[in-house]
């Protein structure tokens, strides 16, 4: 084979040289460029220069004189078509990894693809058991693909979701850095369950140490850390400690909930984006950060190739199953536009309940659960509020009843004269379909008030005197949290955002198990 290389003055080199991440001269053995750059870059004129591409065979059609292979490497939704000779196509099948060297040429008008690769050499890099390969070019349900989490990310749309996750993380990092937030890494193993809900996974050891016997002769459980520890359900308490050291902190870390919910919005392991700000005493300042952050993400998504491909995946050529076919491209674009709306409505919980009751009594709305002050907002209530008062976009609801929220939330700054009970300085951000996306609050920074709230919520065994006239907590798992107040606390607050729910909302899929590479939910933990 006569191999043609790209010279420093060649047309293809001048076309691709300025693209980020490409080598100055695309010749083996240097790394081949991602297919995203090849498929989005017009072939040079005149043709005749060779390039090298790596990827997986998505499909291959073998004819008498020619063969056509569809090549993908996960960098783009659209594959690259390669024109092969029958000899070059010998042994190729779906799933095989290849390196192809060839000429990048423009296709005649009227063809589905704008360009293709005329192969000069084909090298098989990784064999594939084509007979038993479970991912074929045919309709496959999302439920079936969930049984193959180690393989399903090779599919174009699932690869796109991986790239969406990466892009959003990069944007968030830039956003927080530009506002002087310090990224931190709180622990995964904790002494408490933060909000006292009790839905935690307990950490145990498989070291096989013999358990000691108690006085009655019965074996007592041996704890690796001397007493029970748990997988974290939230990093908030630790972030409060770190915020009082550097002012503003954030983290994106895994969290775990032993909740047996099977809804499309819940997982047992998921990622939470959490932020904490010192010297903040009002909920509005926290909501401003959340709104600015999500608008920044939406702007970046709309202008990116990832965003364009998410819309492309909604076209008739790409819709293959119910998970992708719920939202049209126009509906998904409208969802992003809602995030970019000039103002997001903010309403108090008491107003939200009144509006829901009014919707039932006057507008004839129907809810499975009646809107009651002491019962909280259910998913159908949140969906109605976002759709009606958020105009199809986000809406903040603030000042929830104290009895529904965690012990660390202080009373609302302006207590309304309501007979149902006091409210606390907090907020939830509601979006259509996904419902609650973000939750946050001001934190109680006064020692005496915090201890009263902890006792009321049964978060401590007892309050004792430490011999110096100061309050201490018998429950050691939260003593350090009280110390944050005893030793120079400041007004502060923060929020938590369900990161996988955010990706669910931005991508338009309907089940959170599709945006997580290896999803864990009750009864399922594959791979």
Read off the pLDDT of residues 311-337 as tens digits, 9 standing for 90 and up. 998 875 555 544 444 688 999 999 999
487 with 435: CB under 8 angstroms? no
Structure tokens at 292: 């600015």
Structure tokens at 440: 């946050």
Query: What distance in Å separates the CA atoms of residue 396 and residue 88, rounded to the nearest whole number?
Result: 60
Q: Indicate the helix (H) or strand (E) that contains 492.
A: strand 492-498
Q: Centre a 10 Å sphere on the Cβ of residue 474 and count the other Cβ atoms it contains.
A: 11
pLDDT (0 to 100) of residue 314: 85
Given a cut of 50, the residues of the chain with pLDDT beneath it are 1-29, 208-210, 216-220, 321-325, 462-465, 467-469, 474
430 with 400: CB under 8 angstroms? no
pLDDT (0 to 100) of residue 384: 93
Query: What distance in Å separates the CA atoms of residue 254 and residue 239, rounded to the nearest whole number?
Result: 14
Pairing outcome for strands 189-190 and 435-443: unpaired
- Which phi and psi angles does 463 have, rounded to 5°? -110, 125
Sequence-distant (≥ 6) Cβ neighbours of residue 521 within 8 angstroms? 262, 266, 267, 268, 513
DSSP states of 356-392: HHHHHHTS----SS---GGG---HHHHHHHHHHTSTT
pLDDT (0 to 100) of residue 522: 87
Domains of the chain and CATH, by start:
38-127 (2.40.50.140), 159-207+222-445+490-514 (3.30.930.10)
Query: What distance in Å separates the CA atoms of residue 85 and residue 81, rounded to the nearest whole number?
Result: 13
143 to 78, 92, 165, 262: CA distances (angstroms): 24, 28, 21, 14
pLDDT (0 to 100) of residue 238: 95
Q: Is 173 helix (H, G, I), strand (E, B) or coil?
A: helix
185 to 157, 431, 499: CA distances (angstroms): 31, 28, 16
Sequence-distant (≥ 6) Cβ neighbours of residue 37 within 8 angstroms? 16, 19, 21, 22, 75
């Amino acid at each position: 084979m006569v191999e043609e290389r790209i010279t420093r003055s060649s047309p293809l080199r001048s076309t691709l040289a300025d693209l980020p991440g490409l080598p100055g001269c695309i010749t083996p053995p240097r790394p081949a460029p991602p297919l995203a750059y090849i498929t989005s870059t017009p072939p040079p004129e005149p043709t005749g220069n060779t390039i090298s591409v790596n990827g997986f065979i998505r499909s291959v059609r073998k004819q008498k004189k020619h063969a056509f292979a569809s090549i993908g490497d996960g960098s783009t939704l659209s594959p690259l078509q390669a024109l092969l000779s029958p000899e070059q196509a010998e042994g190729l099948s779906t799933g095989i990894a290849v390196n192809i060297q060839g000429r990048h040429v423009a296709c005649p008008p009227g063809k589905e693809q704008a360009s293709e690769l005329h192969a000069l050499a084909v090298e098989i890099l990784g064999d594939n058991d084509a007979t038993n390969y479970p991912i074929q070019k045919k309709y496959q349900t999302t439920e079936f693909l969930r049984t193959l989490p180690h393989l399903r990310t090779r599919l174009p749309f699932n690869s796109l979701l991986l790239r969406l996750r990466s892009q959003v993380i990069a944007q968030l990092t830039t956003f927080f850095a530009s506002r002087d937030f310090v990224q931190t890494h709180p622990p995964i193993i904790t002494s408490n369950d933060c909000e006292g809900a009790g839905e935690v996974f307990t950490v145990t050891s498989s070291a096989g140490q013999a358990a000691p016997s108690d006085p009655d002769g019965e074996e007592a459980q041996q704890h690796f850390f001397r007493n029970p520890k748990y997988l974290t359900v939230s990093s908030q308490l630790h972030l409060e400690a770190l915020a009082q050291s550097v002012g503003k902190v954030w983290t994106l870390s895994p969290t775990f909930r032993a909740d047996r919910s099977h809804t499309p919005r819940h997982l047992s392991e998921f990622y939470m984006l959490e932020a904490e700000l010192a010297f903040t005493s009002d909920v509005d300042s926290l909501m401003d950060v959340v709104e600015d952050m999500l608008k920044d993400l939406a702007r970046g998504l709309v202008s990116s190739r990832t965003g364009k491909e998410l819309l492309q995946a909604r076209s008739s050529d790409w819709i293959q199953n119910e998970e992708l076919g719920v939202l049209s491209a126009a509906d998904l674009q409208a969802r992003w536009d809602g995030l970019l709306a000039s103002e997001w409505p903010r309403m108090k919980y008491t107003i939200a309940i009144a509006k829901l009751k009014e919707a039932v009594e006057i507008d004839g709305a129907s809810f499975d659960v009646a809107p009651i002050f002491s019962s909280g907002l259910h998913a159908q209530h949140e969906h109605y509020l976002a759709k009606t008062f958020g105009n199809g976009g986000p809406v903040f609801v603030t000042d929830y009843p104290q009895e529904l929220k965690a012990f660390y939330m202080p009373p609302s700054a302006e207590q309304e004269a309501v007979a149902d009970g006091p409210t606390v300085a907090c907020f939830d951000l509601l979006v259509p379909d996904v419902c609650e996306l973000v939750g946050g609050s001001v934190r109680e920074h006064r020692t005496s008030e915090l201890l009263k709230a902890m006792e009321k919520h049964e978060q401590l065994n007892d309050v004792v005197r430490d011999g110096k006239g100061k309050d201490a907590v018998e429950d050691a798992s939260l003593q350090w949290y009280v110390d944050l107040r005893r030793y120079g606390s400041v007004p502060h607050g923060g929020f938590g955002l369900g990161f996988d729910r955010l990706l669910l909302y931005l991508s338009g899929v309907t089940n959170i198990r599709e945006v997580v590479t290896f999803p864990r939910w009750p009864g399922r933990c594959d791979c």
